[in-house]
Amino acid sequence: MKKILIYIVLILLSSNWLLAKTINVNYKASFGILGTIATIDNKIIIKKDTYEIDTRLKFKGFAKLLLGTQQEHYVSKGFIKNGFFVSYYYYAMSQKDNRNKLNEYFIDHKTKSITKRRRKWKNGKLYYDKKKDLNFYAKDDLLTLYFNMDKHIKAHKNQKNFILNVAGLEKQKGKVKITVATAKDKQKYKNDLGSSASWYAKALIVQKNFKHKKGDILLSVSKDGYIKKAVIKDLVMYGDAVLKRVESRR
């Protein structure tokens, strides 16, 4: 009987696995005269009405020499509603040498609230652990913002500008302004992003490394709905940073 039960469980697990769909959407980051500085590997696992996005950033070239052993790992988990990824958990881990930093965001859609937990370790010992409730609510985090962008553009049809709330952007109170390129503006975007995109847009963000504290991320999307290329403008000293898609397989 025990063997039969184990056999049934294995069949159910394997059947459930077959229902899952994994999508890899990977990018290469370059930075002015420094050339390639990182690769970003994104694995999207979709199972029924849930999703998980796992993103790993690996530094290359000059950036690796400068940052040494630093590693970045990001995870978003949630459910799928009307085609959108809706986050309920966002994880951002940074590791370097003997130090680890972790930010976690817990999004409660019933109470429309977000709790952030920040922890720090040194030599494997936890020395900082603090929770706080954020003063805004969001359905997106920094990963779903990127992978939902095509759907957001379509949902805001005929709107040149709209605002999205995003967990992970406390410095700008969670708000990101999206501007969709009009027919008149498209040529300016094509100069930076190429001419074969389905649409073009830009996201206004706040970041200390921009010359004027605010800067635009220019975006273009492929026909399959995923970002094809992104250009971050006005970075101090080194010029523009470019993120270019290098692989996508289903």
Decide if 191 is inside a domain: yes
Residue 194 is assigned to a structural domain of this protein: yes
Give the position of tokens 């805004």.
Answer: 136
Is residue 133 included in any domain, yes or no?
Answer: yes
Say if 10 falls within a structural domain: no
The answer to whether 77 and 89 are in contact (CB under 8 A) is yes
Residues in the chain: 250
Q: Residue 18: pLDDT band by 50, 70, 90 thresholds?
A: very low
The Cα 35–Cα 171 span in angstroms is 29
Residue 53 inside a domain? The answer is: yes
Q: How many domains does the chain have?
A: 1
The kind and range of the H/E element at 124 are none
Structure-block tokens of residue 72: 């970045």
**What was the pLDDT predicted at 70?**
81
Q: What is the pLDDT of residue 246?
A: 87
Q: Is residue 1 part of a domain?
A: no
Q: Which domain holds residue 229?
A: 21-249
* Mean pLDDT for all residues in the chain: 84
Q: Is residue 63 part of a domain?
A: yes
Distance CA 120, CA 102 (A): 6
pTM for this one? 0.83
Q: Determine the Cα–Cα distance for residues 18 and 20; give it in Å rounded to an integer.
A: 5
- Give the span between the Cα atoms of 230 and 250, in whole angstroms: 22
CA distance 31 to 231: 10
Distance, in Å, from the CA atom of 22 to the CA atom of 43, rounded to the nearest integer, reads 7
Backbone angles phi, psi at 33, to 5 degrees: -70, -10
